[in-house]
């Protein structure tokens, strides 16, 4: 790998800060975000229109920038998981993980024998099209590939300890909005039910020595999340960030122009 993977980054306790890409599939995206100081990119296939062809192209852009990519696939289907890894995802996240059985299925789809049942395709995007001994390639991929379970349902929060205990699951990612929706109180993060569910996930990760991750929309929330134990933090979403920046600054520009005109 030309750039450090997520397992390499995890050895350093400092915060690892990324952002979510679900709109701007552009050749410069990797270098733009690397130049901005980000540690990783979170490419979202669950809520975007990105196809696997789009993903494959985007991953070549990010490889050129030497910035690792976490890919959230649409579901826990084998073809979603294996194809995302085959086209070069450094880490893979599956949404709506609710049970340890589901977590074991995800690991099996993501790992080669003997850890899983992923089909082997040599000399394609995931191994930079390089030849080499089959067993060595499979072992290297199993070591390098990071598998993340997104906990965003009441069921997942309740079973967080069992999910975290599954061998091959490296990180629990809290989906805060959907978790609150699953509890029947959308967006009410200060409610005891939401705090308890969050606490279950945080404690499960810590007890099982697994990583924690989540998305945040502001600096204050991100700093608080890191203090709580979240090492991987996705700050903002590409489309939201552009909207927020333009809305605030266009309004400020119009205000100044009105003053000048007066």
pLDDT digits (tens, 9 = 90+) for 26-85: 999 999 999 999 999 999 999 999 999 999 999 999 999 999 999 999 999 999 999 999
pTM for the whole structure:
0.95
Residue with structure tokens 């390098």?
144
The answer, yes or no, to whether residue 148 has pLDDT greater than 60, is yes
Mean confidence (pLDDT) of the chain:
96
Q: 199-227 pLDDT, tens per residue?
A: 999 999 999 999 999 999 999 999 999 99
Q: Are strands 171-174 and 91-94 parallel, antiparallel or unpaired?
A: unpaired
Backbone angles phi, psi at 68, to 5 degrees: -75, 155
The yes-or-no answer on residue 47 being catalytic is yes
Q: 110-134 pLDDT, tens per residue?
A: 999 999 999 999 999 999 999 999 9
CA gap 67, 42 in Å, rounded: 11
Report the chain's terminal Cα–Cα distance, integer Å.
Answer: 59
Q: Over the range 134-150, which residues count as b (16 or more CB within 10 Å of their CB) and which as e?
A: eeebbeebbebbbbbbb
Residue with structure tokens 């750039």?
3
List the chain domain ranges: 6-237
As given in the structure block, the two tokens for residue 164 are 């975290």
Q: Among residues 47, 80, 126, 176, which one is catalytic?
A: 47
In the prediction, which pLDDT does 5 show? 87
CA gap 172, 5 in Å, rounded: 17
Q: What does CATH list as the number for 6-237?
A: 3.20.20.60
């Amino acid at each position: 790998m030309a750039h450090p993977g997520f397992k390499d980054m995890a050895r350093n306790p400092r915060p690892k800060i990324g952002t979510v890409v679900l709109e701007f599939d552009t050749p410069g995206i990797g270098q733009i975000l690397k130049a901005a100081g980000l540690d990783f990119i979170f490419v979202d296939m669950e809520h975007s229109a990105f196809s696997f062809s789009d993903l494959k192209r985007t991953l070549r852009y990010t490889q050129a920038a030497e910035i690792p990519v976490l890919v959230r696939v649409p579901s826990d289907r084998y073809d979603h998981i294996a194809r995302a890894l085959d086209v070069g995802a450094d880490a893979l996240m599956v949404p709506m993980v609710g049970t340890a059985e589901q977590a074991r299925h995800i690991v099996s789809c993501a790992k080669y024998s003997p850890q899983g049942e992923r089909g082997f395709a040599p000399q394609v995007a995931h191994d930079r099209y390089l030849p080499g001994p089959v067993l060595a390639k499979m072992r290297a991929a199993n070591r390098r590939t990071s598998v993340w379970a997104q906990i965003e349902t009441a069921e997942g929060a309740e079973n967080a300890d069992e999910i975290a205990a599954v061998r091959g699951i490296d990180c629990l990612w809290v989906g805060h909005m959907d978790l609150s929706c699953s509890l029947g109180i959308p967006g009410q993060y200060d409610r005891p039910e939401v705090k308890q569910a969050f606490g279950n996930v945080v404690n499960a990760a810590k007890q099982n020595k697994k990583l924690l991750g989540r998305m945040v929309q502001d600096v204050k929330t991100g700093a608080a999340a890191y203090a709580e134990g979240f090492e991987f933090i996705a700050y903002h979403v590409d489309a939201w960030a552009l909207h927020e920046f333009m809305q605030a600054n266009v309004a400020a520009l119009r205000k100044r122009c009105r003053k000048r005109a007066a």
